[in-house]
A and B are shown apart, each in its own frame.
Chain A
Amino acid sequence: MRNEAVEVSDLWFKYLGGRSFVLKGISFSLEEGEWLLVLGPTGSGKSTLLLTLNGIIPCFIPGELKGEVRVFGLDPAKVGVAEMARVTAIVLQDPEAQVIAFTVEEEVAFALENLLVPRDEGLRRVAEALRAVGLENLRREAVDTLSMGQKQRLALASALALRPRLLILDEPTAHLDPASALEFYKVLSRLRGETTVIVVEHRVDYVWEFVDKVLLMENGVVKYFGDPEGLFNRISLPYLLKTGIWIPEVLAGELVRGEPEELGGPSPPSSPAIVAKQVSYRYPGGREALRQVSITAEEGRVTCILGPNGSGKTTLLKLLAGILKPDHGYVLIYGQQPRPEKVAYVMQNPEHMFVARSVLEDVALSLKSAGYDEGEARRRAYSLLREYSLEEYADRSPFELSQGEKRLLSLLLMAALNRRVILMDEPTFGLDRRYAGIVARELMKLARAGRTVVVATHDTWLVSAISDKVIVLREGRAIFEGGAVEFLSQPKLMAEASFSPPPLLRALVGELGDLEKALLTYKRYLLYQGVRGLESIL
């Protein structure tokens, strides 16, 4: 019989100054070596639950905690975070914010030095962990030169080097390209049966086959805890879709098969809006991020930029926005030099974009920039907030919103500027299916309204669902530019782009035998939720 690894009994938690409890009577237990996938919509309390398991709540984040948590017999709230590091390791959502050291190997060694692991043993573990996440060639690199995805792998390596008995992962692959994310879980699967893993992951298809248990949370309450298969026996698929959570696509796909051709149609006629010719860029004192990239993006279409971590996607977006100036070559937006004040650029971190004290004021500010007078801007801001289902937060500070709401607001702020070109950097990472669907639909709407929309993303579903055109970057070079269908029909090219088609799309292609029809059905499922029998519920 295996040891009990985690036991949570009747756990309640309310943040200091919070209006209500975020966790409401959570109970579950895990045996050593079991893997648990925590599911739930944005704001359901998933991350809060994870933070109680190594004592971050309440040691760092104060609030009212009731109930009991035991991790290998230890009470994290009493033992403290540092002591819990002997048995647990945690990877947080934001990889950049958790980097401590200046170089890659120092970062991975940090915890081992703290635990007085002998040098030889420690350096061996550092090398193993870096190899496991594919960073062994960058061990002496400065952390600041890594891409976001590489930083996320580094965070994983730091956790793996600790060889924890409980590994807590909060969206560990959010910044990884699809191939790296799949590879990550392949590497992690070696720990099955030995290390207990609790993971919050929106790419559920990648992890589904490895988990022993699933915990479904909604509004701080456990709706289901048990085997993965039992989830669909106990809770209906329509209900799960209604919650807005990500569920394995192949299972959700059961509902959409058989009605492929009602949606879509050709994109409206388009003309080139963005032209980049032979563009090269090297960061000051750093690596060459882009090499002779030539691309175009057309008006009225969604262009998705894909590529492995560190391939230059964000750099290209910044060059298109005029934030960076190319070392060689040129960029033209509607025939003119790009200027930041002429485009709408949605940054990866939405918090960089808020300037006003309230959500309503912030949106009104964008509208005033677009030419509306004060009164009209406020009136229109309110109606836009209603369109985006954010009206209840109109008087709140933008910083008080949830991650999903912040991201949606950042898109709204840019859409309200009414610019012809909209550039977005990873617009859907970390969002639940409901919010991600809203963002994707808005992007489609903006494109169909005649804007030029360019999106850098790792989300395979987003590419499949909204892209009219795909640009693939690899090692700073553009290796493909063409239609989504053309891209999705070339397995070798997809492999070079570290892209793996969504499971449901693959299944639909197998069933329908036609990629275009399969894509239409896929869009229908993701964007319009027009699934037969679900309309009344959704």
Chain B
Amino acid sequence: MSLYYEGASLLHRLTPLTKIVVTLIAMFHMVLFPQLKYILLHLMAATALLVTARPRIPIRVWAGALAVVVGHGWINAVMVRSGSLLLDLGWLKVYWEGLELGITLAARVMAIILYSILVAATTNPRDLAVSIAKLGVDYRYAFAAYVTFRMAPLVRRDLENVLMSRKIRGVKTRVNPIELMASILAPLLSLVVRRSTLLSISMESRAFGALRSRAYYWDVQSGVRDYAFLAAFLTYLIVGTCLLTYVNYP
């Protein structure tokens, strides 16, 4: 599913590579400094960027993200079997140490999800393909992601139509689950295979892969804005990390 929407925010104007590099730096930093206080730095940064970019993210995406975060945190919390007991239900014991670990890991997952959503929502898939190709990757592979983004909404629409058709036809859903899956997947797979074949045909019929390189009419160039953003983000992380590490707060 493509979350991308057009816009003119700072993140929209950065090159895809800058955004990917920032996300990788953030993840690397979270591995080096796994404590909650450092992860809060990322949550603050991601939230600030989210406010400036104002991505139109569907509710179901937020719901999915929340489910992952809560589920991940909760499982890790209850896996800790020693320490100061916080809650005892007999069949379930939760310790303070477990809760702390769960919250830390949930915050880390949340930060990664936020960064990823920001990249996906503000990056034109075409620019992403162009950026990857300009790194020296064969453009035929670079466009694989582009085509995947292209196919995703079509497949989703196919699925909606298949489900709507079942509703119109009054097909019972309370049947053997394997039969149910088969009856949904059979038409969907047929449509996906057909779509993929036609898309490949369409691309090659328009000289995709005929030459070793291709032109890019809407080129993507890193500029001062990208370097400045990267520098600002690094400065924020370094200063924030130093303050949290070396300054003793009352």
Q: Which of A338-388 contact B (CB under 8 A)?
A: 340-341, 343-345, 347, 349, 351-357, 365-366, 369
With contacts A352-B191, A355-B165 taken as known, whether A369 is within 8 angstroms of B171 at the C-beta atoms is yes
**Would you call A341 and B170 a contact (CB within 8 A)?**
yes
Residues on B with C-beta less than 8 A from A399 are 186-187, 190
Interface residue B98 (Cβ < 8 Å from any Cβ of A): no
Interface residue B210 (Cβ < 8 Å from any Cβ of A): yes
With contacts A86-B210, A323-B164 taken as known, whether A112 is within 8 angstroms of B215 at the C-beta atoms is yes
Interface residue B79 (Cβ < 8 Å from any Cβ of A): no
Interface residue B104 (Cβ < 8 Å from any Cβ of A): no
**Would you call A97 and B199 a contact (CB within 8 A)?**
yes
Distance (whole angstroms) from the CB of B5 to the closest CB of chain A = 8
Residues on A with C-beta less than 8 A from B186 are 354-355, 357, 399
Interface residue B166 (Cβ < 8 Å from any Cβ of A): yes
With contacts A82-B207, A90-B205, A162-B206 taken as known, whether A123 is within 8 angstroms of B217 at the C-beta atoms is yes
Stretch in B29-37, B60-68, B113-121, B154-162 with 4+ CB within 8 Å of A: B154-162
Task: Say which residue of B183, B198, B218 sits within 8 Å of A97 (CB atoms).
Answer: B198
Name the residue on B nearest A400 (C-beta).
Answer: B190
Interface size class, chain B: 35 or more
Residues on A with C-beta less than 8 A from B154 are 96
Distance (whole angstroms) from the CB of A319 to the closest CB of chain B = 14
- Bound-complex Cα distance A144 to B200 (A): 19
- Bound-complex Cα distance A158 to B205 (A): 11
**Would you call A60 and B201 a contact (CB within 8 A)?**
yes
Q: Which of B173-223 contact A (CB under 8 A)?
A: 183-184, 186-187, 190-191, 194-195, 197-211, 213-218
Distance (whole angstroms) from the CB of B36 to the closest CB of chain A = 37
Distance (whole angstroms) from the CB of A103 to the closest CB of chain B = 8
Residues on B with C-beta less than 8 A from A285 are 5, 56
Task: Say which residue of B187, B204, B207 sits within 8 Å of A351 (CB atoms).
Answer: B187
- Bound-complex Cα distance A86 to B197 (A): 21
With contacts A102-B150, A144-B153 taken as known, whether A60 is within 8 angstroms of B197 at the C-beta atoms is yes
Residues on B with C-beta less than 8 A from A162 are 206-207
Name the residue on A nearest B200 (C-beta).
Answer: A60
Interface residue A444 (Cβ < 8 Å from any Cβ of B): no
**Would you call A101 and B210 a contact (CB within 8 A)?**
no
Task: Say which residue of A106, A111, A355 sits within 8 Å of B187 (CB atoms).
Answer: A355
Residues on A with C-beta less than 8 A from B124 are 102
Of B150, B154, B204, B206, the most chain A CB neighbours within 10 A belong to B206
Distance (whole angstroms) from the CB of A390 to the closest CB of chain B = 18
Residues on A with C-beta less than 8 A from B211 are 114-116
With contacts A114-B214, A340-B164 taken as known, whether A82 is within 8 angstroms of B201 at the C-beta atoms is no
With contacts A355-B165, A355-B166 taken as known, whether A82 is within 8 angstroms of B213 at the C-beta atoms is no
Residues on A with C-beta less than 8 A from B165 are 347, 352-353, 355
**Would you call A119 and B217 a contact (CB within 8 A)?**
yes
Residues on B with C-beta less than 8 A from A90 are 205
Chain B residues packing against A (C-beta within 8 Å):
5, 56, 124-126, 147, 149-150, 153-154, 158, 161-162, 164-171, 183-184, 186-187, 190-191, 194-195, 197-211, 213-218
Known interface pairs A85-B205, A115-B210, A122-B217; 5 further A-B residue pairs with C-beta atoms within 8 A, sorted by A's residue number: A81-B204, A85-B210, A116-B211, A162-B206, A340-B167
A-B contact pairs, 14 of them (CB 8 A): A60-B200, A82-B209, A97-B199, A100-B150, A100-B203, A102-B126, A109-B217, A111-B207, A117-B215, A162-B206, A341-B170, A351-B190, A351-B194, A357-B186
Q: Which 3 A-B pairs have the closest CB atoms?
A: A111-B206, A369-B170, A85-B207
Chain A residues packing against B (C-beta within 8 Å):
54, 56, 59-61, 80-86, 88-90, 92, 94, 96-102, 106, 109-119, 122-123, 144, 158, 162, 285, 321, 323, 340-341, 343-345, 347, 349, 351-357, 365-366, 369, 399, 413, 417
